[in-house]
Structure 1
Amino acid sequence: MILIPMFDIIIILISGGDTDMLDNTFSTSDTSENKNQLYDEDKQKLMLYNKKITCPVCSTVFNARAIKKSSYRILKKDSDFFIRYSIINPYFYDVWVCNRCGYASIKNDFERLSDFDANIIRIEISPKWHSKNYPEVYNLNLAIQRYKLSLLNYDIIKARSSKKANNLIKLAWMFRLKEDKKSELEYLNYALENFKNAYYNENFPISGMDIFTTMYLIGELCRRTGKEEESLIWFGQVITAPTAPQKIKNMARDQKDLIKLNIKDTKSQDNLGDDLKDNKKQSIFSKFHK
């Protein structure tokens, strides 16, 4: 099942990922980044270097942009494991793309490609691919396009659900940075579906997570996508698991309390609304009794 709208898939392939299609070069300007003033392009250039990679599909040797160790700084961590950075964002460089054949994946998976899957990419991706002139420094919009291209590759080779889930949640996080709540929610739902498939059908660890961390994340994705009752079940299973680490139990307990508080507030608002309606009815009919 293709997880990207068909229009986006066509654009990704024929333009190399540039949805504007105005030229063959990506702009490094980004409104949301400039607004927060977290990313300085000149500083970022000093934190980056080229890493030579051999493409397992077409054998092309290309330079992948990589971040020097200890260059990035963590600002905060969200409850679904999204990490917010200052100065430079490692998520922007997490997808490697062969600009010759169009093969792309999360960098940890890039060289772990079977001959069978490589042949599928040669047939399904490469003939439609148009190369791009990528800039030295990547921005949020470019990162989103690269994650979409990676997701398309995973989908075409029918990669495991855990690999798709890892790509999908990172794509959702990019939309969170972009403050595009609709797209974030859409991809969080896709990520949830694939993490659940991986939980039931794959061996652990999944995306570097043990079973209890995965259960917590599924619960948190349920919470973020409005499935509060299901979320409470997943969190409850983590909290009551005898062998679950205390840290992940505490995280599950915090989120469970957050849901209960939200449910309580919602009920209070509903009751307040009912009271207001009753008062309004009384005021309307009271004049007939004067």
Structure 2
Amino acid sequence: MNLLSGMEKFGFSMDGELDILADEKPKAGENAGAKTAAPVVKQEKDFVIDKKVRCPVCDKDFPIKAVLATKLKRLEPDFDLRPNYEHVDKIKYDFLSCPNCGFSALDTTFSKIDTARVKLIRADFCPSFKPQPNEPLPELYSYEYSVEKFKLALICTMKKKAKMSEKAYVCLKIAWLRRAQLKELEQDKDADPKVVEMVKKEYEGFYSQAYEGFMKAISSETPPYCGMASEAVDFMLANMSMYYKKYDAAMKLVARLIQSPSTSRKLKDKCVDLKDEITAKVAAEKAAAAENK
């Protein structure tokens, strides 16, 4: 019996027996094809979308590229808590920069600007800013493009008299971008040595500014520091102190975290490991110094 007889008047000729499960059943050869299908290789462009943002300084809309963070797979962070993700370096997209008036900032602080600071930007930044009318919005942000915009954001943070933590965080983002770029350049046999040297110098320069800025911020500001919890900043600074071989500063920060009741057990365990690493490095340097005498 054709259960769908009579549907011919609507243009549907439904011959044969009705089976609503037919579409759910695998077709011949379907499973075999699935086994041999090539895996889908995701790229940075698969996580980047177009958006529009309104500038709080000039009140004009402008287009941006944004990352679908919810779709990203988080990887192990760097020693100083630099976040890493599979397929895309999200930090390249962590800024907003208005092409009309030039106002630029971290994406987390861009719209959180009060009237007084808007006036400072309009008076001390906008008159000097030269728009780039022929600059197209790239499909994907390069390291050079993002660093350039972050530098504008740094100038804005200084012009609007932002907190030290915000200035330090912008410097840190630039340093992180330069460090990632440096890794890429070091793997490129055709990389221009002058470019490599410039990127390295900027990495070291901005990293130093970030370290000194955050050390100043934790002694003069109330947490959170530009949205970051005090525990995260202390742990980050302990690792940065290790980078600069400032072992006393690193040990003080680690001890403070271990003794604090607000520090999570997971972070305390990391602090214990870092403490052991500091102790080992100090001992190794003392032994090396003794041998050289």
Is TM > 0.5 for Structure 1 vs Structure 2?
A: yes
Question: 5 Å matches for 1:207-286?
Answer: 207-274=226-293
| 1:73 alignment counterpart | 73
The Cα shift of 1:238 comes to 1.4
Name structure 2 gaps, 5 residues minimum.
Answer: 1-40, 183-198
| 2:155 alignment counterpart | 152
Aligned-partner SS, 2:212: helix
- Separation in 2, partners of 1:261, 1:46: 44
Structure 1 residues 125 and 209, CA gap change in structure 2 (3 angstroms): closer
| 2:208 alignment counterpart | 189
The Cα shift of 1:181 comes to 4.3
Question: 5 Å matches for 1:1-290?
Answer: 43-132=43-132, 133=135, 134-179=137-182, 180-274=199-293
TM-score normalised by structure 2 residue count? 0.73
Stretch moving more, 142-151 or 121-130: 121-130
The Cα shift of 1:212 comes to 2.7
Name structure 1 gaps, 5 residues minimum.
Answer: 1-39, 275-290
- Separation in 2, partners of 1:55, 1:103: 8
After superposition, the CA RMSD in angstroms is 2.2
1:158-205 deviation digits (Å, cap 9, x = unpaired): 101121122121111112112244433322222222223322232222
The question of whether the paired residues in 1 share the 8 Å contact of 2:80 and 2:237 is answered with: no
The Cα shift of 1:243 comes to 3.8
More RCO (CA 8 Å, sep 6+): 1
- Separation in 2, partners of 1:257, 1:181: 30
Structure 1 residues 142 and 272, CA gap change in structure 2 (3 angstroms): same
The Cα shift of 1:96 comes to 0.4
Structure 1 residues 116 and 208, CA gap change in structure 2 (3 angstroms): closer
User: How many residue pairs end up in the alignment?
Assistant: 234
Structure 1 residues 71 and 89, CA gap change in structure 2 (3 angstroms): farther
Larger radius of gyration: 2
TM-score normalised by structure 1 residue count? 0.73
The question of whether the paired residues in 2 share the 8 Å contact of 1:189 and 1:225 is answered with: no
Greater fraction of residues in helix: 1
1:40-97 deviation digits (Å, cap 9, x = unpaired): 9x93333222222111111111112111244433343112110223322211111100
Structure 1 residues 212 and 49, CA gap change in structure 2 (3 angstroms): closer
The question of whether the paired residues in 2 share the 8 Å contact of 1:185 and 1:225 is answered with: no
Stretch moving more, 47-56 or 145-154: 47-56
